[in-house]
A and B are shown apart, each in its own frame.
Chain A
Amino acid sequence: MRIARAAVSVDLKNVTKSFGRTRVVDSVDLHVEPGKLTTLLGPSGCGKTTTLRMIAGFQEPDSGEIYIGGRRVDVLPAYLRNTAMVFQDYALFPHMSIFSNVAYGLRIRGVRPEEIKKRVTEALELVQLAGMENRFPAQLSGGQQQRVALARALVIQPDALLLDEPLSNLDAKLREAVRSELRDIQQRTGITSIYVTHDQEEAFSLSDTVVVMSEGRIQQVGTPEDIYYRPANRFVAEFVGTTNLLSAVVLTAQREHVVLAAAGTTLVATSPGRRFAPGQSVLLTVRPESVHIAATVPPAGEEHRGDPGELNVLPCQVVKTTFLGSRSRHTVRLPDGTPWTVDVSDPGTATMTCGEAFVAFAPERTHVIASEALGGTPASPG
């Protein structure tokens, strides 16, 4: 679809919102790149929807500023902000045909009827619903309603497209199909988009940037890979996928490489862009699929242990093995008693038996986070 406006950025400056005594959104600073899709990811109730509604103007921030394309909008009424929202429940006007639903925003703007017809047709083609103009929302399937909602949002050529868990009412299969379609449409139209979800897979597969939120605060901003492999704190590490944690003490920290003492041995981790001081207590995280497991010590690992670029190796006790088809999952216990999870892909018939074994993991996959988060509450963004 033809996009008249150049993509613009969306910025939140120190935005705070409380309902009663609870701070639902707490001092949020956020920069959304023009033309990119940014996802707010976080558990239910962490303030994602509220953030989105403040951008759209359905809720007023208690303090802070919101900018769209450099223009301050938090002082504007919702109907002047030129944002377009796709609601979780679609919120299609049940008494209007599909055509009228999509055309509604254009009619309000006083666009000429021929122009409306042209643009609505374009928008419906974009979401592959051409020919459905005269139906009513109740006659469409969930996936189709969803796409009408998207067309209705896109047709007004918004400065920002806001999507609030748009796929959560679809069944799993459809969700995946619509997801890639959505990504495709976003990239083709190049509209700055903010997407809200609590589903990490959705966030990873769709986003240019992921913003992890918890209890109204931003925990980390980064690419999906950053978030997954280099979580900023324990909350992110544990919320996003399954992870293994291990308490450690920093021995030396040179540039990217951090040498750690943990579980009675020395381990090496990489930590781009972060500084740790020797003697500092930290947490080490590794993803289950980044860990290898073997009954014997890998030959190379033993002698060069502790050197950068080589594998970290730890002895362990295999407690349980579960065959899951595409992979098998092992629960192991490290020497200091910490339970870890190790995934082996394409396991074949060679499953590990319970008993003594070794785990190995590459320093590039070993990530260090500050351990003040050990107590449970997530650390503030660093």
Chain B
Amino acid sequence: MELSAGKAQRHTGRHNRTLTRAGKVMREPALVFVVGGSVALLVVFLFLPLGKVLAMPGAGDWLSYFETPRFVRATLNSLFMAAISTASATILGFAFAYAVTYAEVPGSRIFRIIGLLPLMSPPFVTGLAFILLFGRRGLITWTLLGLRPDIYGWKGLWAVQTFAFFPTAYLSISSVLKAAGSNLEFAAVNVGARRWRVFRDIVLPLATPGIAGAALLVASQVLADFGNPMLIAGDFTVLATESYLELITNWSPARAAVLSAVLLVPALVVFLVQRSIVERRSFVTVTGKPIQGTRMGPVPWLKWGLTVFCLAIALFVLAIYGVVLVCAFVKTWGADFTLTAYHFVMAVIRGRELGNSLMLSAAAAAFSALFTVVLAYVVQFKQVPGKAVLDFAAVLPSAVPGTVLGIGYVLAFNSGPLAMTGTAFIIITFMIFHYMAVGYRTASGMLKQIDRGIEEASTNLGAHSLRSFWSVMLPLMKPAFTTGLLYTFIRSMNSVSGPIFLISPTWTLASVSIINLADHGYWGQASSLGVAVVGSIFVVLGVARFVLGEKVRLFEI
């Protein structure tokens, strides 16, 4: 009530400003330039490729979708995987979040860090590790047990995706459980509720919107996942891999576009539902008071159970990195475990891939961070026409699977005035626009909390828009800038689904090479590159933390 009253006031306040500001916009050439430029960039590098995906196929191509059982099966497979992997990853993520954030089991601090590690490395490292552990020459299945099971298929993919994406669920649910006010739980206990009822009646209902939001986030990642299906799904095709086959193997851009468009549908639905849930998630924060005193944790036996569970997960995560690391430096995985630097030298030192990845990702990160901060500033602080559209456009890319955007780039920039396939530029722009949403959301969230008065005071003292942006707003937004920078960098380093369409002999990337090497059974070299990618991300994060001298808040969704 008080909240909404305040909001209403602010709205009318903004309204009044519109009148005065609308005139001002035109009088500020710098602002016009920035707004015009941003719109042009979004149109060319986001809407044009997406438009191409939708516009390119003819009626016959659309019909072919229904006439080709392969396509329908891939669609069903995609939806099926999204459903089961989301369910399992969310349950795992919830249990993990409950254990380390809420119940605070012994060792929570370490578990928290380990739980976040997978977010900073490519999802397909999990797939790679699974093959190394449980595959035909797997450490556990073959070397230790002498089994030769077939993990290639939907079950293998399910297991891999569960592990690859539970950290997303964990992180997102964690932030909700943190916000749950303990006074509410005390109030319930106070009128007679025991732990289980407190959990059932208070904690769970309050966390439900957050859990749903987390599940949808996971769902969108599962739908878009390309690396793991490529590595481990075998004959079980999903839309992302099927559209890759259509474009690269069968060279049928139109049918690839059709499959992309089909994949876009569930992805957008998930995105829109998630957005509306997050926006409606109001009541948790309304009564949110900082927690004082101890929480109503679980009963001891459950707490110990959860500790064992976390320990198992943590060990497994560490095992994933461990086997990849070992595999990078032994002669032949599963047969000859003598140490060698051969694979590492071949894949990392001799190859150009890592250098390319670092260079292009860094360039993309720098531009993306700057662009999103400027865009957020313009949308939040300036009365520009159509700001709701701009706002939506800025977060839309997070909903678009990399495959879809990648195919869109191929279609849009293959020929004509904007022909740039084969260049580094196409890869960089793809990275900038595909991963801009997090930087943008962080920046605009931050701007919403900055008092307009600060900027107005500066304008009042005679600084015009551009000046007050540089001198006042930009320093304040440094944390948002670094978040955008690091996030885009990490995601670009790990990105496969889009770049796999955009690389050229000159411009290959480490992430794509890992998939290709693994696909051809070069486990040692694939692992070496994987170690190099993960290692360089950690080095960059460490340096960033050291240089910026602040806690880099990266994965707060």
**B451 contacts the other chain (CB 8 A):** no
Known: A87-B183, A89-B183, A89-B289. A94 touches B193 (CB 8 A): no
CB-defined contacts of B202 to chain A, threshold 8 Å: 93
Known: A78-B190, A105-B191. A95 touches B289 (CB 8 A): no
A108 CA to B189 CA, complexed, in Å: 10
Choose, from A138-146, A240-248, A269-277, A278-286, the stretch at the interface.
Answer: A138-146
**A46 contacts the other chain (CB 8 A):** no
Choose, from A52-60, A303-311, A366-374, the stretch at the interface.
Answer: A52-60
Complex: chain B residue closest to A85, CB-CB: B190
Complex: chain A residue closest to B205, CB-CB: A95
Cβ of B194 and Cβ of A95 under 8 Å apart?
no
Cβ of A79 and Cβ of B193 under 8 Å apart?
yes
A143 CA to B186 CA, complexed, in Å: 21
CB-defined contacts of A139 to chain B, threshold 8 Å: 1
Cβ of B193 and Cβ of A138 under 8 Å apart?
no
Cβ of B183 and Cβ of A91 under 8 Å apart?
yes
CB-defined contacts of A79 to chain B, threshold 8 Å: 189-190, 192-194
Question: 8 Å CB contacts to A: which residues of B179-212?
Answer: 181, 183-184, 186-194, 197, 201-202, 205-206
**A83 contacts the other chain (CB 8 A):** yes
Cβ of B189 and Cβ of A94 under 8 Å apart?
no
Complex partner residue of B191 from A90, A92, A108, CB under 8 angstroms: A108
A105 CA to B187 CA, complexed, in Å: 10
Complex: chain B residue closest to A59, CB-CB: B293
Choose, from B70-78, B269-277, B278-286, B527-535, the stretch at the interface.
Answer: B278-286
CB-defined contacts of B190 to chain A, threshold 8 Å: 56, 58, 78-79, 83-85
CB-defined contacts of B336 to chain A, threshold 8 Å: none
**B287 contacts the other chain (CB 8 A):** yes
A259 CA to B468 CA, complexed, in Å: 72
**B2 contacts the other chain (CB 8 A):** yes
Known: A79-B192, A105-B192, A139-B1. A95 touches B187 (CB 8 A): no
**A104 contacts the other chain (CB 8 A):** yes
B185 to chain A, nearest CB (A): 9
Question: 8 Å CB contacts to A: which residues of B1-21?
Answer: 1-2
**A21 contacts the other chain (CB 8 A):** no
Most chain-A Cβ atoms within 10 A of its Cβ — which of B2, B186, B187? B187
A59 CA to B183 CA, complexed, in Å: 13
Complex: chain A residue closest to B287, CB-CB: A94
CB-defined contacts of B193 to chain A, threshold 8 Å: 79, 104, 108
Cβ of A87 and Cβ of B187 under 8 Å apart?
yes
A6 CA to B184 CA, complexed, in Å: 29
Complex partner residue of B287 from A78, A91, A141, CB under 8 angstroms: A91
A327 to chain B, nearest CB (A): 35
Chain A interface bracket (under 10, 10 to 19, 20 to 34, 35 or more): 20 to 34
CB-defined contacts of A152 to chain B, threshold 8 Å: 187, 191
Cβ of B1 and Cβ of A140 under 8 Å apart?
yes
CB-defined contacts of B287 to chain A, threshold 8 Å: 89-92, 94, 137
A141 CA to B5 CA, complexed, in Å: 11
CB-defined contacts of A77 to chain B, threshold 8 Å: 194
**A7 contacts the other chain (CB 8 A):** no
Complex: chain A residue closest to B209, CB-CB: A95
Known: A92-B287, A108-B197, A141-B1. A85 touches B186 (CB 8 A): yes
CB-defined contacts of B201 to chain A, threshold 8 Å: 93, 104
A137 CA to B183 CA, complexed, in Å: 15
The 0/1 profile, CB within 8 Å of B marked 1, for residues 29-62 of chain A is 0000000000000000000000001001111000
Cβ of B286 and Cβ of A138 under 8 Å apart?
yes
Complex partner residue of A138 from B184, B206, B283, CB under 8 angstroms: B283
A135 to chain B, nearest CB (A): 11
A53 CA to B206 CA, complexed, in Å: 24
**A68 contacts the other chain (CB 8 A):** no
Complex: chain A residue closest to B289, CB-CB: A89
A6 to chain B, nearest CB (A): 20
A166 to chain B, nearest CB (A): 13
B242 to chain A, nearest CB (A): 42
Most chain-A Cβ atoms within 10 A of its Cβ — which of B192, B286, B287, B293? B192
Cβ of B186 and Cβ of A58 under 8 Å apart?
yes
Question: 8 Å CB contacts to B: which residues of A124-141?
Answer: 137-141
A145 to chain B, nearest CB (A): 9
Question: 8 Å CB contacts to A: which residues of B512-533?
Answer: none
Cβ of A53 and Cβ of B187 under 8 Å apart?
no
**A156 contacts the other chain (CB 8 A):** yes
B416 to chain A, nearest CB (A): 54
A178 CA to B3 CA, complexed, in Å: 22
The 0/1 profile, CB within 8 Å of A marked 1, for residues 406-429 of chain B is 000000000000000000000000
Cβ of A78 and Cβ of B283 under 8 Å apart?
no
A124 to chain B, nearest CB (A): 16
CB-defined contacts of B187 to chain A, threshold 8 Å: 85, 87, 91-93, 152
A56 CA to B294 CA, complexed, in Å: 13
B546 to chain A, nearest CB (A): 32
Cβ of B283 and Cβ of A95 under 8 Å apart?
yes
Complex: chain A residue closest to B208, CB-CB: A95
Complex: chain A residue closest to B4, CB-CB: A138
B314 to chain A, nearest CB (A): 30
**A112 contacts the other chain (CB 8 A):** no
The 0/1 profile, CB within 8 Å of A marked 1, for residues 245-289 of chain B is 000000000000000000000000000000000000011101101
The 0/1 profile, CB within 8 Å of B marked 1, for residues 60-97 of chain A is 00000000000000000111101111010111111100
CB-defined contacts of A142 to chain B, threshold 8 Å: 1-2
**A5 contacts the other chain (CB 8 A):** no
A184 CA to B230 CA, complexed, in Å: 73
Cβ of B282 and Cβ of A138 under 8 Å apart?
yes
The 0/1 profile, CB within 8 Å of A marked 1, for residues 169-187 of chain B is 0000000000001011011
Complex: chain B residue closest to A145, CB-CB: B1
7 closest A-B pairs (Cβ-Cβ)?
A105-B191, A94-B283, A91-B183, A91-B187, A108-B192, A78-B189, A89-B289
Q: Can you name 10 A-B pairs with beta carbons within 8 Å?
A: A58-B293, A79-B193, A89-B181, A89-B183, A90-B287, A93-B201, A95-B206, A137-B287, A153-B191, A156-B191
For the complex with contacts A95-B283, A105-B192, A138-B283, 8 further pairs of A-B residues with Cβ separation under 8 Å are A58-B186, A83-B190, A87-B183, A89-B183, A93-B187, A94-B286, A138-B282, A141-B2
